[in-house]
Structure 1
Amino acid sequence: MSSITEPGGNARSPSFFSKQATIAQPGFSRWMVPPAALAVHLCIGQAYAFSVFNGPLTKVIGISQSAPDDWSLTTLGWIFSLAIVFLGLSAAFAGKWLEKVGPRRTMFTAACCFGGGFIVSAIGVWTHQIVLLYLGYGVIGGIGLGLGYVSPVSTLIRWFPDRRGMATGMAIMGFGGGAMIAAPLSVALMNHFKSATSIGVAETFVVLGIAYFISMSIGALAIRIPRADWKPAGWTPPVETKQKMITRNHVHIDQALKTPQFYLIWLVLFLNVTAGIGILGQASVMIQESFKNTVSAAAAAGFVGLLSLFNMGGRFVWASASDYVGRKNTYYIFFALGAVLYWLVPTFASAGNIAFFVLCYCVILSMYGGGFSTVPAYLADMFGTAFVGGIHGRLLTAWAAAGVAGPVLVNYIRAYQVANGVAKADAYTMTVHIMTVLLVIGFICNLLVKHVHEKHHMTEAQLAAGN
Structure 2
Amino acid sequence: MSTQLRRPLVLVAGALLLLLLGLIYAYSVLLAPLKVAFDWDVSGMTLIFALSIISFTVGCLVSGELERRGFDRPGLLLGAALLLAGFIGTSSAGGATSLLSTVAFYGVVSSLGIGVVYNIVIPTVTAWFPDRPGMAQGVALMGFGCGGFVLGPVMTQLYSMLDWRLVLVGTGVLFAAAVMLTALVVRPPTAREGAALSGLAPDSDRGGDGSAGGNRDAGLAEMLRDRSFYLLYAFLFFMGSVGMGVTGIGRELPLSLGADDMTAAFVIGFVNIGSGIGRLCGGAALDRLGRGPAMFAMAVLGVAGPLSLVASLLLTSLPLQTVACLVTGIGWGAAVVSMPFVTRTEWGQSNMAENMAVVNTYSIFGSVVGSWGSGLLSTMLGSFVPVLFAMCIMGLASVFVAVMLRAGAATNVSSRTRTGRTTVE
Contact 1:91-1:150 at 8 Å conserved across structures: yes
Structure 1 equivalent of residue 176 of structure 2: 213
The 5 A counterparts of 1:198-237 are 200-228=163-191, 229-232=194-197, 235-237=200-202
Contact 1:92-1:395 at 8 Å conserved across structures: no
Give CA deviations for 1:180-205 in whole Å, capped at 9, x if unaligned: 34333433444444xxxxxx222222
Deviation, 1:325, is 1.1
The 5 A counterparts of 1:21-420 are 29-57=6-34, 70=38, 72-73=40-41, 78-124=47-93, 132-193=101-162, 200-228=163-191, 229-232=194-197, 235-239=200-204, 243-247=209-213, 248-282=215-249, 296-298=258-260, 302-339=266-303, 359=323, 362-407=326-371, 410=374
Contact 2:303-2:393 at 8 Å conserved across structures: no
Report sequence identity in percent: 21
Q: What are the ranges of 5 or more consecutive residues in structure 2 without an aligned counterpart?
A: none
Mapped partners of 1:149, 1:116: distance in 2: 17
Mapped partners of 1:138, 1:408: distance in 2: 13
Mapped partners of 1:354, 1:142: distance in 2: 31
Mapped partners of 1:112, 1:372: distance in 2: 26
Contact 1:169-1:374 at 8 Å conserved across structures: no
Point out the structure with max Rg over C-alpha.
1
Q: 1:186 to 1:286 in 2, by over 3 A?
A: closer
Deviation, 1:86, is 1.0
Contact 2:54-2:367 at 8 Å conserved across structures: no
Structure 2 equivalent of residue 464 of structure 1: none
Contact 1:343-1:436 at 8 Å conserved across structures: no
Deviation, 1:118, is 1.4
**3-state DSSP class of the match of 1:245?**
coil
Deviation, 1:271, is 1.4
Give CA deviations for 1:55-97 in whole Å, capped at 9, x if unaligned: 43257xxxxxx5xxx5645666654433222111221344122
Q: TM-score, normalised on structure 1?
A: 0.74
Deviation, 1:164, is 0.7
Contact 2:126-2:133 at 8 Å conserved across structures: yes
Q: Which has the higher contact order (CA 8 A, sep 6+)?
A: 2
Deviation, 1:313, is 1.5
Match of 1:442 among 381, 401, 404: 401
Give the aligned length: 408
Deviation, 1:376, is 0.4
Deviation, 1:369, is 0.9
Mapped partners of 1:352, 1:126: distance in 2: 36
Give CA deviations for 1:25-48 in whole Å, capped at 9, x if unaligned: 766521111122124312221212
AA partner of residue 438 (structure 1)? A
Mapped partners of 2:158, 2:264: distance in 1: 25
AA partner of residue 184 (structure 2)? L
Deviation, 1:243, is 3.9
Q: TM-score, normalised on structure 2?
A: 0.81
Contact 1:87-1:144 at 8 Å conserved across structures: yes
Give CA deviations for 1:201-239 in whole Å, capped at 9, x if unaligned: 222222111111111111111113223442449635234
**3-state DSSP class of the match of 1:160?**
coil
Deviation, 1:382, is 0.3
Kindly report the root-mean-square deviation, in angstroms, between the aligned alpha carbons of the 2 structures. Answer: 3.7
Mapped partners of 2:325, 2:44: distance in 1: 31
Deviation, 1:274, is 1.7
Q: 1:300 to 1:121 in 2, by over 3 A?
A: closer
Deviation, 1:370, is 1.0
Deviation, 1:375, is 1.8
AA partner of residue 137 (structure 1)? Y
AA partner of residue 44 (structure 1)? L
Deviation, 1:348, is 8.5
